[in-house]
Every structure is written in structure tokens, then in C-alpha cells.
Amino acid sequence: MGRRRAPELYRAPFPLYALQVDPSAGLLIAAGGGGAAKTGIKNGVHFLQLERINGRLSASLVHSHDTETRATMNLALAGDILAAGQDAHCQLLHFQAHQQKGNKAEKAGKTGSKEQGPRQRKGAVPAEKKCGVETQQEGLELRVENLQVVQTDFSPDPLQKVVCFNHDNTLLATGGTDGYVRVWKVPSLEKVLEFKAHEGEIEDLALGPDGKLVTVGWDLKASVWQKDQLVTQLHWQENGPTFSSTPYRYQACRFGQVPDHPAGLRLFTVQIPHKRLRQPPPCYLTAWDGSNFLPLRTKSCGHEVISCLNVSESGTFLGLGTVTGSVAIYIAFSLQCLYYMRESHGIVVTDVAFLPEKGRGPELLGSHETALFSVAVDSRCQLHLLPSRRSVPVWLLLLACVGLIVVTILLLQSAFPGFL
């Protein structure tokens, strides 16, 4: 019997490295490729429309954007603008999706095997044959165009490893193998800031709503910056375990809201062993106060090496992927694991993204509490659904207590007639 896997939502004709979800149009955007090597593996950004059909969440390919010889390794989304990390460059893409009037009755009859790749719409041109920048399909019109492009990394073997927008989408920050953070205006990509953040590669970075920037790198450091000024460095072992012989490095960092506290802010980081050992020590997940950057809680997240991290829109859930293909969902408040699918992909998970809780998110989510998408080098995009946790209303608990008391009194009265 084969290993249990999550439902396969989509299979691309190339390895997948990056993932974003557009809540307004209900689009899942997956990107990757085979790079510049002449292997016949293409490079592209695929736009998929998310729909609920017969009570199940499904995805159909509506547009394939060819990126020629450049594989997209990382993505950031700001409204209708995508920032795509391609080799040493950052390419801005602008897309427009318009819902057209279609025959909704046909949707219920559309079926297809998920093991045979994406469900194509009736009359759609196969992805490998699309060469235009505009795609019109049943119910959706999508247009994608290239905007500005700029080189963002200048090491001997240059590679942009991460990109993200600020809170109002007027700036984006990039980091790569040369250890420099560079900040650019959107959409002109005019450079406004540049500074050396780490000795060696920058692994991840996150921009907070107050303008603070957190960076993590291969030099085992995690730093908080205000523009190019160092504010503080993070020390996750202050209230956690200490390992004198096992160096750890920060693998990922993400800001998240505090549920039910709009002004609250949390930072989440993942720490992994810096070196591979025969008996691997555990990886750790840490929640930080987003104002003073002191560690609040640290918990082990297993012995599989974590490859990627994401936070749900409300800050309620954390999504993790591992180098061995596993996917997990944690609750952000207590860092408790709620969902775990071991080796679902069977190879390194390159990115995870939650279904947003605004826009078309609630409609697509149905009765589930959250949905997490994962992509990997195996070219698959998988869907991980967390069922709603059943809770008993307080009034029902009080009613049950009153009923229990009444029953107890009646039993005592029948056993001991003179009890009352």
C-alpha cells in the first residue's frame, strides 16, 4: 500500500518553487521551471482558477505565462502585481482578471481525474500551446504583461532568494546570495536603499507594518532593521533549549497578526540544525513579540528539516513544509500541531500558502477551518484541508450541568425517600 498523500490539486509540466493566492479573483498562482539548461523543461507562471465543484475545491488552468529561459524561484503578490525572483533578477508582472458571464450549469458536470493533471476548461488551449499574453476562457478573461525588471543580486553566483512587499505595496525588498538587502520603489523598481545585512546568503526576510525589516541568513543570525540601522538581533534560545555542540540557523521568518487584537503583531521564525547529522536534532518554531522582539514561546516541530513557513491572513495558523516532503499546520497561539501529512510530496516542499480569509476565501473554503496549498519539486500542487474543530456552546454546557444536578437529586430522592 502506498503512502497516504493529500489531494493533488494540480500538476505542472515543470518543478514548482513558488506559490501565491489572489483572494479577489480566486486565483492560485504557481511558478517554477527547469532554468536555462536545455533539458526541454519549460519555465513559467501558471494562473489557476479556484472553484467549488460538487462540494469540492478544484483548480483549472486559465493562463500560462512563459518566462523563457528563467525559472521563477520566489514570488510576492501585491494586488494585481507579482514580483518574481528569476535568477539574479526581479521581474514585475501585471495581471488583470475579469469574470465573464458563463453557463454555470456546465460547472456541475465537469469532472476529471486529479491524477492526470489540471482540469482544462471546455475549449481551452493546452498550456504548452499558449503563446499569447491574453487568455479568454469560459467565465474568465486574464491578461498578463511584463513590467520592469532589475538585477537584485551581484554575487559571483548571483541568485535572488526572497522578495516581499511592504504593508502598503509601495516598496519591495529583495535578498540573495550576496548578503545585501535592497529596497525598490513599485512599480518603477528605482532603488531606494541598499545595505549589507549578513555575511553570506540571506535565507529569508519579512517586512512589518511599522517599517521594520527582519532578515535571517546563513551566518546563523537573525536581525531586525529600521531602514539600514540595526535595531536588535534575535536570540531564540533565551527561553528555549540550549545545545552547546549543535549550531542552529534561522531558516524562515514571517510576521503575523494577533487574532482578535488588530494592533497586535507577532513574528514567527523556524530554526534548523546548521549541519546535517546522522541522528538529526529537532527543528524549532518560535513566536516573538512583534514590538520588542523578545521570544514568547518555542516548541519543537519534529526532526524533519523545515524548508518553508507561512502564516494565515488572520495570524491564526502556521503552515510548514519539510525537505522530505511533509506538510503541517500549527495553531499560532500555542504552536500546537493540528495537521500533519508525512512525506505527502516525497521530495522537498518549496513553498506553502494559505487560502485567504477575505475575498472569495470563505466561499471556497466551505465548512473547513482553513486550507493550505503546497508545491514541491515533484511539480505537484497539493491541497491540505483542516476540518472545523467542533466546539460546544457555553449555554449547552450550563444546561447539561443543570440537568445532571436534577437527575442526581431525583436518584437520591428515590433511593432515600427522606432525603429531601
Residue pLDDT, tens place only, 223-246? 999 999 999 999 998 766 666 678
Confidence (pLDDT) at 3: 63
Confidence (pLDDT) at 65: 96
Confidence (pLDDT) at 239: 67
Residues 18 and 80 in one domain: yes
Alpha carbon of residue 334 to chain centroid? 19
Q: Is residue 224 part of a domain?
A: yes
Domain CATH number, residue 247 = 2.130.10.10
If one counts the domains in the chain, the total is 2
User: b/e string for 339-357 if b means 16 or more Cβ within 10 A?
Assistant: bbbebbbeebbbbbbbbbe
What are the tens digits of pLDDT across the range 1-16? Answer: 456 678 899 999 999 9
Confidence (pLDDT) at 389: 65
Residues 252 and 270 in one domain: yes
Residues 320 and 248 in one domain: yes
Residues 358 and 410 in one domain: no
Q: Is residue 45 part of a domain?
A: yes
Is 50 exceeded by the pLDDT of residue 130?
no
Q: Is 364 helix (H, G, I), strand (E, B) or coil?
A: helix
Is 60 exceeded by the pLDDT of residue 135?
no
Q: Is residue 118 part of a domain?
A: no
Cell digits of residue 267: 513574528
In this prediction, residue 120 has a pLDDT band, given cuts at 50, 70 and 90, of very low
Q: Is residue 114 part of a domain?
A: no
Residues 408 and 262 in one domain: no
Residues 286 and 228 in one domain: yes
Q: For residue 206, what are the contacts with CB-CB under 8 A and spacing of at least 6?
A: 164, 213, 214, 253, 254, 255, 267
Confidence (pLDDT) at 128: 39
Confidence (pLDDT) at 114: 39
In this prediction, residue 138 has a pLDDT band, given cuts at 50, 70 and 90, of low
Separation CA 291–CA 23 (nearest Å): 28
The CA dihedral of 63, 64, 66, 71, to the nearest 10 degrees, is 130
Is 90 exceeded by the pLDDT of residue 420?
no
Higher pLDDT, 311 or 361: 311
DSSP for 306-331 reads: EEEEEE-TTS-EEEEEETTS-EEEEE
Confidence (pLDDT) at 106: 45
User: Would you say the C-alpha torsion 393, 395, 397, 399 has a positive or negative sign?
Assistant: negative
What are the tens digits of pLDDT across the range 340-387? Answer: 999 999 899 999 999 999 888 999 998 899 999 999 999 999 999 999
Residues 312 and 398 in one domain: no
Q: Is residue 93 part of a domain?
A: yes
Residues 160 and 290 in one domain: yes
Percentage of the chain with pLDDT > 90? Answer: 68
In this prediction the pTM is 0.84
Q: Is residue 127 part of a domain?
A: no
Confidence (pLDDT) at 393: 59
Higher pLDDT, 227 or 398: 227
Compute the average pLDDT of residues 305-333: 97
Is 50 exceeded by the pLDDT of residue 109?
no
In eight-state DSSP terms, residue 389 is: P
Confidence (pLDDT) at 119: 47
Q: Is residue 34 part of a domain?
A: yes
Q: Which range (143-147, 184-188, 273-277) has the least confidence?
A: 273-277
Confidence (pLDDT) at 34: 94
In this prediction, residue 160 has a pLDDT band, given cuts at 50, 70 and 90, of very high
Spatial contact of 249 and 239, defined as CB atoms under 8 Å apart = no
Expressed as residue numbers, the domain containing 240 is 8-99+141-389
Task: Please report which helix (H) or strand (E) contains residue 194, including its range.
Answer: strand 191-196
Residues 400 and 379 in one domain: no
Residues 265 and 400 in one domain: no
Is 70 exceeded by the pLDDT of residue 203?
yes
Strand order of the sheet with strand 212-217? 202-207, 212-217, 222-226, 229-233
Residues 29 and 149 in one domain: yes
Q: Is residue 130 part of a domain?
A: no
In this prediction, residue 173 has a pLDDT band, given cuts at 50, 70 and 90, of very high
Is 70 exceeded by the pLDDT of residue 259?
yes
In this prediction, residue 418 has a pLDDT band, given cuts at 50, 70 and 90, of low
Q: Is 375 helix (H, G, I), strand (E, B) or coil?
A: strand
Share the mean pLDDT of the chain: 87
Residues 308 and 415 in one domain: no
